[in-house]
Structures are given as C-alpha cells and as structure tokens.
C-alpha cells in the first residue's frame, strides 16, 4: 500500500474493469475509483453503468482514441497540481488494445507515478479456458482490417511456435478465419465470444470448420480468436497447394468476372494488382511460382 500514499504530485491509476459481468471487479479497484478525483474513460455512459451498479459517484471525463492527444496534457497538468486520476477502458485492462499509451508516456516523462490496478482481461480469460497450450503464447491484438495487410501479418506469424491470440471484430471474423486457413494451414483454433456475459460461447475446432460456421452465421459481441501452433494433423497452407490461377478460376466458377476474381485473389494473398496479374499470366503459360 506504500505506493498509494499521498505525494505532492497526483497519480495515475490504470484500473481494470469487468469485461462483461459487472461483479468481476476487485475491492481495490472499487476503492481506487471511489477515491479518485477524476475518472477518465472511453465512454462515460458505459462507465456510468459500472458506477451505478457499485454506488460510485466521481467526476467522469472522456478519454478515447479520438481525443487522447488533447485530453492527455489536460490530465497531466491536473496531476502536476496534485489531482489523482483513474484511467479505465470500456472493458478489461487499459492500454491492452485500448487507448492510454500517450497519457502514460507523458506521466512517466514528468515523473508522475503510474500505478496498475490489475483485474480482468479478455485474452487471458479466453486463453485459460481455450484448451490450447498456455505455457507460452503471443498476444497480437487486432489484425489489420484490410485483407492485404492482414494476409501479410499472418504470413509474418506463420512460423510462430506459440499459441497466437487475437481480438477480432464480428463482421471480419469469417474472413480472418478463411485467410488463416489459407496462410497458416488448417490448425486447431478457438473462438471465444462474449466472455463472462449471458451468451458466453467457446467454439473449438479446425480453422476451416470455424470459418464455415461463422460464414453461415455472423457472430455478435466481443471476440477473441486463438490459433494453435502447427501440428502434424494440420493440412498444408492453401497458398502452397492452390495456385493463383486456380483460385481465380474457382472464383470465376462462383460467378465473379475475371477482373474481379483476380482482384479478390490478389487481396487474399496480399499481392499488389500488377504482381498478381504478372503471376497469373506466368502460371497460365505453364510456369510455377514460389510466391503464391
């Protein structure tokens, strides 16, 4: 408790809050939030629900990705005058795929104490109940939204020997799973959805099975995706088994025009349009390419 004694300067508390169930909060977090001079939060409406549930009444200010560069200096100035600030995200631990880095950096530069108040984190909860290896893992946050950038990121991680953990948006999940099958091979994986909430779900299987399921039923809510390292049962990545020309032909059979089919196949592989066209001509002329 010595770290929490009053100093001439204020302090910044990084307070973890529930990821769903509002009972998942520590006694220490409740005390710190109840004693803070001001609580900075992503969405004041969301944090107000937590405060109402636990009888907390403290001033709230918004702090999110769109205003953090303006808000952080204001909060730092207050802390330099002795104000205690608590930073929370909408759910889970601040700074873990959430804003707050800029504020922490500014505090450390000015020797303002930064004190973590640990608690819930969606990826840790998902990993613990996943059934995959937890001895070593890599948390990579959100994959890029653009298909080409996402494919390049997955390629970079293809040789990763540890369990990989990602956050993903519901409307992108099926596309991410399909890209993972093509690039990583058909590995074991888990989709954890709405953790600690009424509709909590763990769906386990091969990447191809999960892709097929979520292509037919787009999920809702917060999603954590976990992918196991390659194993003996995983099929080879589709990119090494299916040429660009074969993928274009497959898309044409599905009804796409050739130009559109080539554009989609290139996007799936993270290839520039000109390179994809060159590779397609090369393959159709009977050549082979290592860059598939």
Model confidence over 36-88: pLDDT tens digits? 999 999 999 999 999 999 999 999 999 999 999 999 999 999 999 999 999 99
Question: Look-up: residue for tokens 């130009």?
Answer: 259
Radius of gyration of the chain measured on its C-alpha atoms: 23
At which residue do the structure tokens 């795929």 appear? 97
**What are the pLDDT digits (tens) for 72-130?**
999 999 999 999 999 999 999 999 999 999 999 999 999 999 999 999 999 999 999 99
Contact by Cβ (8 Å): 13, 115: yes
Query: 102 — phi, psi (to 5°)?
Result: -60, -40
pLDDT tens for 2-32 read 444 444 689 999 999 999 999 999 999 999 9
Beta strand pairing call for 163-168 and 223-227? antiparallel
* pLDDT at residue 242 in the model: 67
The values of phi and psi at residue 188, to 5°, are: -70, 145
CB 39 within 8 A of CB 111: no
* Residue 253, helix vs strand vs coil: helix
Helices (H), 11-166: 27-35, 44-54, 68-80, 101-109, 122-130, 147-156
Strand, helix or coil for residue 266:
helix
Task: Show Cβ contacts of residue 282 under 8 Å, excluding neighbours closer than 6 positions.
Answer: 289
Q: How far is CA 52 from the centre of its chain?
A: 28
Q: What is the pLDDT at residue 236?
A: 58
CB 226 within 8 A of CB 164: yes
The total of other beta-carbon atoms located within 10 Å of residue 76's CB is 21
Question: What domains are defined for the chain?
Answer: 8-120 (3.40.1010.10), 123-227 (3.30.950.10), 242-284 (no CATH)
Of 210, 234, 205, 213, which Cα lies nearest the Cα of 130? 205
What pLDDT was estimated at residue 277?
Answer: 83
Alpha-carbon dihedral angle through residues 252, 256, 258, 261, given to the nearest 10 degrees: -90
In the predicted structure, residue 1 carries a pLDDT above the cut 50: no
Q: Comparing C-alpha atoms, which of 200, 209, 204 is closest to residue 191?
A: 204
Give residue 221's region: left, alpha or beta (phi > 0; psi -120 to 50). Answer: left
């Amino acid at each position: 408790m010595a770290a929490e004694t009053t100093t001439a300067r204020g302090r910044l508390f990084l307070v973890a809050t529930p990821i769903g169930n509002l009972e998942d909060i520590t006694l220490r977090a409740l005390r710190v939030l109840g004693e803070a001079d001001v609580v900075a939060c992503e969405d004041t409406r969301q944090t107000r629900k937590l405060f109402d549930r636990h009888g907390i009444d403290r001033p709230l200010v918004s702090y999110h990705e769109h205003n953090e560069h303006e808000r952080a200096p204001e909060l730092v100035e207050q802390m330099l005058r002795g104000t205690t600030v608590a930073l929370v995200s909408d759910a889970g631990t601040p700074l873990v795929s959430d804003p707050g880095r800029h504020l922490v950096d500014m505090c450390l530069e000015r020797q303002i104490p930064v004190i973590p108040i640990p608690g819930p984190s969606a990826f840790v909860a998902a990993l613990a109940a996943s059934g995959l290896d937890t001895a070593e893992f890599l948390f990579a946050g959100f994959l890029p939204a653009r298909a080409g950038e996402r494919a390049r990121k997955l390629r970079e991680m293809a040789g990763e020997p540890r369990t990989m953990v990602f956050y993903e948006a519901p409307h992108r999940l099926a596309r991410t799973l399909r890209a993972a099958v093509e690039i990583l091979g058909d590995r074991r994986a888990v989709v954890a959805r709405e953790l600690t909430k009424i509709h909590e779900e763990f769906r386990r299987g091969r990447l191809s099975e999960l892709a097929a399921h979520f292509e037919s039923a787009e999920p809702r809510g917060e999603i954590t995706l976990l992918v196991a390292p390659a194993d003996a049962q995983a099929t080879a990545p589709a990119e090494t088994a299916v040429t660009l020309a074969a993928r274009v032909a497959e898309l044409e059979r599905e009804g796409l025009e050739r130009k559109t089919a080539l554009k989609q196949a290139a996007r799936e592989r993270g290839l520039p349009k000109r390179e994809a066209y060159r590779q397609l001509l090369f393959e159709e002329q009977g050549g082979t390419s290592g860059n598939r």
